[in-house]
Structure 1
Amino acid sequence: MSTATQPADLTDHSTPDDGNTAVIARQAIVDGERAVYGYELFDRSIAHHAHTAASDAALLFNALSYAGTEAIVGSKSVFINCTHESLAGGHLELIHPEKVVLEVPTLADGATPEDIEARVSVLDGLRQRGFRLAFNQQVLRRSYVSWLPLAAFIKLEMPAFKPEMAEALVRFARGNTQAEMVAEKIETEEQFNLMRGLGVKLFQGYWFARPTLVKAQTIRPSQATIIQLINLVRKQASTMEIEEVLKRDPTLSFSLLRFINSAGFGLSCEITSFRHAVMILGLKKLFRWAALLLTTSRNGGAPPIVGTTAVVRGRLMELLAAELLPPEDCDNAFVVGVFSLLDSMLGVPMDKALASLALPQQVNDALLHKSGVFAPFLELTIACEVGDDTAFARNADALQLSNRQVNWAHLQALAWAETLGSE
Structure 2
Amino acid sequence: MTDNATPLDPSQTEPGATSENQVVIARQAILDEQRAVFGYELFDRSTAADSHTAASDAALLFNALSYAGSEALVGRKTVFINCTHASLTGPHLELIHPEKVVLEVPILAADATAEQIAEYIPVLQGVRAHGFRLAFNQEVLRRAYAGWLPLAAFIKLDLQAFRPELTEPLVKFARANSQAQLVAEKVETAQQHERMQALGVKLFQGYWFAHPTLVKAQTIRPSQATILQLIDMVRKQASVAEIEELLKKDPTLSFNLLRFINSSGFGLSVEITSFRHAVMILGLKKLFRWAALLLTTSRNSGSPPAVGQTAVVRGRLMELLAAELLPPEDCDNAFVVGVFSLLDVMLGVPLDRALETVSLPQSVVDAVLHGKGVFAPFLKLTQACESGDDAAFAEAAQELHLSNRQVNWAHLQALTWAENLDFGG
TM tier relative to shorter chain: 0.5 to 0.7
Cα deviation for residue 38 of structure 1 reads 0.6
Question: What is the rounded CA distance, in whole Å, between the counterparts of 2:29 and 2:292 in structure 1?
Answer: 34
Contact 2:92-2:289 at 8 Å conserved across structures: no
Q: How does 1:22-421 map to 2 (within 5 A)?
A: 22-223=23-224, 225-226=226-227, 229-230=230-231, 232-234=233-235, 236-294=237-295, 297=298
Cα deviation for residue 166 of structure 1 reads 1.8
Gaps of 5+ in 2: 302-425
Cα deviation for residue 55 of structure 1 reads 2.5
Question: What is the rounded CA distance, in whole Å, between the counterparts of 2:152 and 2:132 in structure 1?
Answer: 11
Question: What is the rounded CA distance, in whole Å, between the counterparts of 1:194 and 1:299 in structure 2?
Answer: 52
The number of aligned residues is: 295
Aligned to 1:366: none
Question: What is the rounded CA distance, in whole Å, between the counterparts of 2:231 and 2:120 in structure 1?
Answer: 36
1:136–1:239 distance in 2 versus 1, CA, 3 Å = same
Cα deviation for residue 290 of structure 1 reads 2.8
3-state SS of paired residue (1:64): helix
Gaps of 5+ in 1: 301-423
Cα deviation for residue 92 of structure 1 reads 1.8
262-271 or 153-162: which moved more?
A: 262-271
3-state SS of paired residue (2:147): helix
Cα deviation for residue 239 of structure 1 reads 3.3
Question: What is the rounded CA distance, in whole Å, between the counterparts of 2:249 and 2:33 in structure 1?
Answer: 50
Amino acid in the other structure paired with 2:122: S
Cα deviation for residue 57 of structure 1 reads 2.1
Aligned to 1:7: 6
- Residues 393-416 of structure 1 deviation map (CA, whole Å, 9 limit, x = unaligned): xxxxxxxxxxxxxxxxxxxxxxxx
1:291–1:148 distance in 2 versus 1, CA, 3 Å = closer
Contact 2:59-2:293 at 8 Å conserved across structures: no
Cα deviation for residue 297 of structure 1 reads 4.9
Contact 2:7-2:215 at 8 Å conserved across structures: yes
TM-score (norm 1): 0.64
1:274–1:149 distance in 2 versus 1, CA, 3 Å = same
Query: RMSD over aligned Cα, in angstroms?
Result: 2.4
3-state SS of paired residue (1:146): coil
Question: What is the rounded CA distance, in whole Å, between the counterparts of 1:110 and 1:232 in structure 2?
Answer: 46
Question: What is the rounded CA distance, in whole Å, between the counterparts of 2:281 and 2:233 in structure 1?
Answer: 17
Amino acid in the other structure paired with 1:146: G
Contact 2:57-2:82 at 8 Å conserved across structures: yes
Question: What is the rounded CA distance, in whole Å, between the counterparts of 1:103 and 1:295 in structure 2?
Answer: 23
3-state SS of paired residue (2:29): strand
Tell me which structure has the larger Cα radius of gyration.
2
Question: What is the rounded CA distance, in whole Å, between the counterparts of 1:136 and 1:39 in structure 2?
Answer: 16
- Residues 40-98 of structure 1 deviation map (CA, whole Å, 9 limit, x = unaligned): 01111233333333322221111111111112111111111112122222222222222
Cα deviation for residue 283 of structure 1 reads 1.5
Cα deviation for residue 110 of structure 1 reads 1.6
Question: What is the rounded CA distance, in whole Å, between the counterparts of 2:74 and 2:300 in structure 1?
Answer: 32
TM-score (norm 2): 0.64
Question: What is the rounded CA distance, in whole Å, between the counterparts of 2:228 and 2:161 in structure 1?
Answer: 52
1:186–1:215 distance in 2 versus 1, CA, 3 Å = same
Contact 2:91-2:289 at 8 Å conserved across structures: no
1:13–1:293 distance in 2 versus 1, CA, 3 Å = closer
Aligned to 2:369: none
Q: Percent identity?
A: 73
1:245–1:46 distance in 2 versus 1, CA, 3 Å = closer
Aligned to 2:383: none
Question: What is the rounded CA distance, in whole Å, between the counterparts of 1:51 and 1:290 in structure 2?
Answer: 22
1:288–1:48 distance in 2 versus 1, CA, 3 Å = closer
Cα deviation for residue 109 of structure 1 reads 1.4
Question: What is the rounded CA distance, in whole Å, between the counterparts of 2:161 and 2:110 in structure 1?
Answer: 16
Question: What is the rounded CA distance, in whole Å, between the counterparts of 2:251 and 2:211 in structure 1?
Answer: 37
Amino acid in the other structure paired with 2:169: A
Cα deviation for residue 230 of structure 1 reads 4.3
Question: What is the rounded CA distance, in whole Å, between the counterparts of 2:50 and 2:237 in structure 1?
Answer: 45
Amino acid in the other structure paired with 1:18: S
- Residues 194-251 of structure 1 deviation map (CA, whole Å, 9 limit, x = unaligned): 1112111111011111110011222222456445544554454443443333233221
Cα deviation for residue 271 of structure 1 reads 1.9
3-state SS of paired residue (1:171): helix
Question: What is the rounded CA distance, in whole Å, between the counterparts of 1:56 and 1:186 in structure 2?
Answer: 25
Amino acid in the other structure paired with 2:160: P
3-state SS of paired residue (1:169): helix
Cα deviation for residue 273 of structure 1 reads 2.3
217-226 or 161-170: which moved more?
A: 217-226
3-state SS of paired residue (1:246): helix
3-state SS of paired residue (1:74): coil
- Residues 94-147 of structure 1 deviation map (CA, whole Å, 9 limit, x = unaligned): 222221111111112121101111111111110111111000011001110000
